[in-house]
Amino acid sequence: MKVKSGNWAVRRAMAASFLGLAGFAANPAEAALRFDGQVQAGGGPVAGSTVTLWAGNAGEPKQLAQTKTADDGSFALSTGETPRPGVSLYLIAKGGVPSTNKSAGDNPALAFLAVLGGTPPAHLTINEMTTVASVWTNAQFLDGAALKGPALSLSIAAGNVPNFVDLQTGGWGGAIQDPLNSGQTPTMANFATLADALAGCATKVRPIACEMLFEAAKPPKGVAPVDTLTAAQAIAKAPWYLPGRVFALLDSFYPVPIGKNLRQVPFMPYLNTAPSAWTLPLKFDGGGYRAGGKAMFDSQGNLWVGDNFTVGWQASDALWQGHATKFAPNGRPLSPITTGFAGGGMEGGTFGAAVDANDNAWFTSYGSKSITVFDKTGKPLTPPEGITFGGRLGLMQGVIVTPSGDVWVLGVEKSQLVYFPKGDLTKGRIVCEGDGAEPCRSFRAPFHLGVDQQDRIWVSNSGVDHVTRFPASDPGKAENFKVGYNSSGLAIDSQGNVWVTDRFGNGLLGMMHMIDFGLHFKLAGVTSAADYLTRTMSQQKGGWRGGSVNLLRPDGTHFPGSPFVGGGLPGPWAAAVDGNDNVWISNFAMPSSPIVELCGVRTEHCPPGMKTGDQISPPGGYVGGGLQMQTDIGVSPAGDVWAMNNWQDIDSCYSSPPEALSTRCGGQGVVVFYGIAKPVRAPQIGPARPVH
C-alpha cells in the first residue's frame, strides 16, 4: 500500500502486510517491530518505491512486510512477529521516482539495501550509503536480494554496518569518520565514490547512466548486474577487478563545471585517483593494543591478540612488556584501555596465541619467558609469573590447540617443545630442548606450528631453510622438508597442503641474508639478530628481492610452481587459509605493507585462468586502512580479514629517536578488510574450516 506523507507517529501506526516466519514468535496483540523511515537517492526523496522487510537466517530469507513510499519518500512498517536469535532483518527499496530527476520517471534499476540486524532503530534511512555499508560488510552472505548465513556470521556482519553509516540518517557512521580512519586512510573517499556511482544510476544523471554502471561493475565471471544492488555486490565480491572502470564514472556522471573547483556529487569526499581495489578497510585501536603479534578469534568472533609492547612506553626491541588485547567483532575494544588484560605472567606478547574450545586464550611472552592463559573474561588462569617450568623456558613463540584438545608450544631461543595434554595446565612438560632429542634437534629457532588432518605437527624454523614435521603421538619421529629462508608463518588448508611464509625468500639473496642473520645471532645475541632481521626486511621489495611463500603437499614434496613470489610479497610473515582454501598473507616490510590474497589449491574459487599461487589481489597487494608493518592476519566468521600492525617506526625501535617520536616503535591498531574472504569457523583449532 502507499503511505501518504504526514506525522511520523501516524505513519508508524500504519501497518504493512504481515507474513509468518519460522524463526519468529507470533504476538498478535501488538506489533513486535514498528519503525518508519525514508528512501533517498542522490540526497533527495524517492516516491513510489517498494520497501520490503526481510528476515535473513541460515535458510531462505522470508518476507515480513511490504509498503510503498509516499511522495516525500517516507514509509512505515510494522510486523507482529518477534525476531528470535539468529535472524538478521534487512530492508530493500526497489524502484520509484527520485525527486532529483522526476522527469526520468520510475527507475526499476534503483535497488537499495539496509541491513539492520536483530534490533532496528525506530527511524531509518535507505539510500546509497546504507547500500554500500550493507553490501561490503555482508558480501559473503548476499546473493541478489537474498541474505542468508549462520547466525553468528550474520550478527557480525550486521554489527559492522554502523561503523560505516548511521542507519537513522543515512549519513556517516562513527568509525569511518573517526581520527584513525578519516585522516589516515582513503576509506571515506572510496566509500563516497562508490555511493556517487550508485546515485548516478539511481537518479539517472545521464539517460544511459545505469547501463554505464552495469558495464563498469561487470564481474569477471557470473551474472551481470541488473540494478544498483547487484552492481554493488559485483564490485564488492571482486574489488580487485578493473577498479578504474567505476572510478571513471565520476567524470561521466559528474564532470567538474566550467569555472568551478568541485564536482557536483551527492556524497563527499570523492577520490582524485583510481584506487587499486574497491576495498573498505577500517582501523581500530585501544584496549591496550600496541604492536600486536599473533591473534586468534574465539567462538563469538572476538579477536584476542598478544601485544609486544604496552601503550605509553618508550618501547624498543630490547624492552618487551606488552599484555593482551581483546576486540569485539565490530572493532570495539573489550580489554582495559591502557593496560589490556594483564597478569598471569603476560609480559611481552609474541607470535604465540591460541584459543581453546572453552574460549580460554593462550599466549607466550618474551619479557617474562613464560606461558599465560586467560579465561574468556580476561582473568588469568596461570600464576603471577606465568608458567616457566622453574625458569627453564627461554624466549617463547608459537602455540596451537589441536582438535584432540592438546596444546603445543615452541621456544625460539632454546629450540624447545612444550606439551600440555588436553590443555591441562598442571600436566605440562618440556618434551625436548636444543640439540637433545628429536624433534628439537631438527629445530633452529622454531617460530610457529600447525597440525594437519593426520595429526602431524608441522613447525616453521626461522634459523634454517627447512620445516620440521613429527607425529603428535611420537614426536621423536621427526622429518625435515626444504623451504625458503627465515620461515615464520605456517598454515594448512583443507587438503592437507602446508603454506609457509619465508621472510628472506628462496635463492642466493635469501641465503646471504640468512648467513648474516646467523652471524649476528651468534656473535651479538638475540637483540642484534632481531635488529638485522627487521632492518633487512624493511628494505625488501616484492619479487625476487623480497620474500616467498612455499607450498608443500601433505607428503612434503613441493607443489608445482612453489615457491611463489610477487610484488605483494616484500616480507611475508603470516599465512591464513579462508573457507575457499585461498590464502591470505601479511607482510612485515616497508612502513605501509600490503596484505595479499593468493589463489589456493581449489582453483575453482579463483578468478578465471588463475592457478595455485597466483596473486588475486592487485600487483602491489591490498593497501590502505592505515596498514603498517604487520605480523599476523586472520579470517573471521563473517569473512572479514584482520591484519595486525606490529611496528611503525624502525628507528624508534633500535636507535635513540627524537623525544617526540620515542613511543612510536610499536604498530598502531588492527586493520579490518570487510567481507573480502570466505568465512571460517572460530576458534580455529586445526586446519581452517568454512562456516555453515
- Give me the DSSP letters along 463-499: TSSEEEEEETT-TTS-EEEE--EEEEEEEE-TTS-EE
If you average pLDDT over residues 245-257, what whole number do you get? 97
Are 510 and 383 contained in the same domain?
Answer: yes
Are 288 and 158 contained in the same domain?
Answer: no
Strands 50-56 and 62-68: antiparallel
> What is the side-by-side strand order in the sheet with 670-673?
282-284, 670-673, 641-647, 629-635
- The pLDDT tens digits of the residues spanning 599-611 come to 999 999 999 999 9
If you average pLDDT over residues 265-275, what whole number do you get? 97
CATH of residue 315's domain is 2.120.10.30
Q: What is the chain's length?
A: 692
pLDDT tops 60 at residue 340: yes
Q: What pLDDT does 317 receive?
A: 75
Last residue of a domain, one of 121, 148, 176: 176
Q: What pLDDT does 25 receive?
A: 42
In a domain, 351, yes or no: yes
In a domain, 275, yes or no: no
Cell of 120: 532496528
**Residues 360 and 315 sit within 8 Å (Cβ to Cβ):** no
Residue 312: Cβ within 10 Å count: 11
Are 461 and 340 contained in the same domain?
Answer: yes
Give the confidence band of 517 by pLDDT, cuts at 50, 70, 90.
Answer: low
CATH of residue 163's domain is 2.60.40.1120
CA distance 54 to 158: 14
In a domain, 516, yes or no: yes
Q: Measured between alpha carbons, how far is residue 603 from residues 468, 549, 586, 683 in Å?
A: 27, 17, 21, 26
Q: What pLDDT does 649 receive?
A: 87
- The pLDDT tens digits of the residues spanning 30-64 come to 457 899 999 999 999 999 999 999 999 999 999 99
Are 360 and 474 contained in the same domain?
Answer: yes
CA distance 674 to 692: 19
pLDDT tops 90 at residue 534: no
- The pLDDT tens digits of the residues spanning 614-654 come to 999 999 999 989 999 999 999 999 999 999 999 998 888 87
In 3D space, the residue among 255, 366, 280 whose CA is nearest the CA of residue 315 turns out to be: 366
If you average pLDDT over residues 169-191, what whole number do you get? 96
Cell of 237: 565480491
Q: What pLDDT does 514 receive?
A: 61
If you average pLDDT over residues 100-111, what whole number do you get? 94
Q: What pLDDT does 319 receive?
A: 83
Give the confidence band of 378 by pLDDT, cuts at 50, 70, 90.
Answer: very high
Q: What pLDDT does 248 receive?
A: 98
Residues 471, 461, 584: CA angle, nearest 5 degrees? 90
Strands 33-41 and 123-126: parallel
Give the confidence band of 15 by pLDDT, cuts at 50, 70, 90.
Answer: very low
In 3D space, the residue among 389, 443, 387 whose CA is nearest the CA of residue 415 turns out to be: 443
Q: What pLDDT does 544 receive?
A: 62
What residue spans of 116-178 are helical by DSSP H? 128-137, 151-164
Residues 365, 389, 372: CA angle, nearest 5 degrees? 35
Strands 485-492 and 479-482: unpaired
If you average pLDDT over residues 183-212, what whole number do you get? 97
Choose between 667 and 504: higher pLDDT: 667
Residue 525 makes CB contacts below 8 A (sequence gap 6+) with: none
CA distance 244 to 273: 9
- The pLDDT tens digits of the residues spanning 399-423 come to 999 999 999 999 999 999 999 999 9
- Residue 538, phi then psi, degrees to nearest 5: -65, -20
CA distance 429 to 121: 54
Q: Measured between alpha carbons, how far is residue 308 from residues 292, 314, 648 in Å?
A: 6, 12, 13
In a domain, 657, yes or no: yes
**Residues 679 and 639 sit within 8 Å (Cβ to Cβ):** yes
In a domain, 507, yes or no: yes
pLDDT tops 50 at residue 10: no
Are 172 and 300 contained in the same domain?
Answer: no
Look-up of cell digits 563527499: 268
Q: Measured between alpha carbons, how far is residue 488 from residues 303, 544, 588 in Å?
A: 21, 18, 11
Are 359 and 502 contained in the same domain?
Answer: yes
Q: What pLDDT does 134 receive?
A: 98
Q: What pLDDT does 85 receive?
A: 78
In a domain, 191, yes or no: no
If you average pLDDT over residues 124-135, what whole number do you get? 98
Q: Measured between alpha carbons, how far is residue 108 from residues 60, 203, 226 in Å?
A: 24, 11, 9
DSSP notation for 641-652: EEEEEEES-HHH
Judged by phi (left if over 0) then psi (alpha if -120 to 50, else beta), residue 364 lies in beta
CA distance 564 to 566: 7
In a domain, 635, yes or no: yes
- Single-letter amino acid, residue 345: G
pLDDT tops 80 at residue 27: no
In 3D space, the residue among 606, 534, 536 whose CA is nearest the CA of residue 241 turns out to be: 606
Task: State the total domains in the chain.
Answer: 2
Q: Measured between alpha carbons, how far is residue 273 from residues 164, 193, 201, 250 in Å?
A: 22, 11, 21, 10
Domain that residue 341 falls in: 282-673
| Element housing 514 (H / E) | helix 508-524
In 3D space, the residue among 622, 578, 618 whose CA is nearest the CA of residue 600 turns out to be: 578
Are 529 and 410 contained in the same domain?
Answer: yes
Widest Cα–Cα separation across the chain: 83
- Residue 259, phi then psi, degrees to nearest 5: 80, 0
In 3D space, the residue among 198, 121, 122 whose CA is nearest the CA of residue 162 turns out to be: 121
3-state secondary structure string across 172-231 = ECCHHHCHHHHCCCCHHHHHHHHHHHHHHHHCCCCCCHHHHHHHHCCCCCCCCCCCHHHH
Give the burial string for 481-490 (b: 16+ CB within 10 Å, else e): bebbbbbbbb
Last residue of a domain, one of 138, 161, 176: 176
If you average pLDDT over residues 250-260, what whole number do you get? 96
Give the confidence band of 521 by pLDDT, cuts at 50, 70, 90.
Answer: low
In a domain, 199, yes or no: no
Last residue of a domain, one of 153, 176, 199: 176
As a whole number, the mean pLDDT across the chain is 91
Give the confidence band of 143 by pLDDT, cuts at 50, 70, 90.
Answer: very high
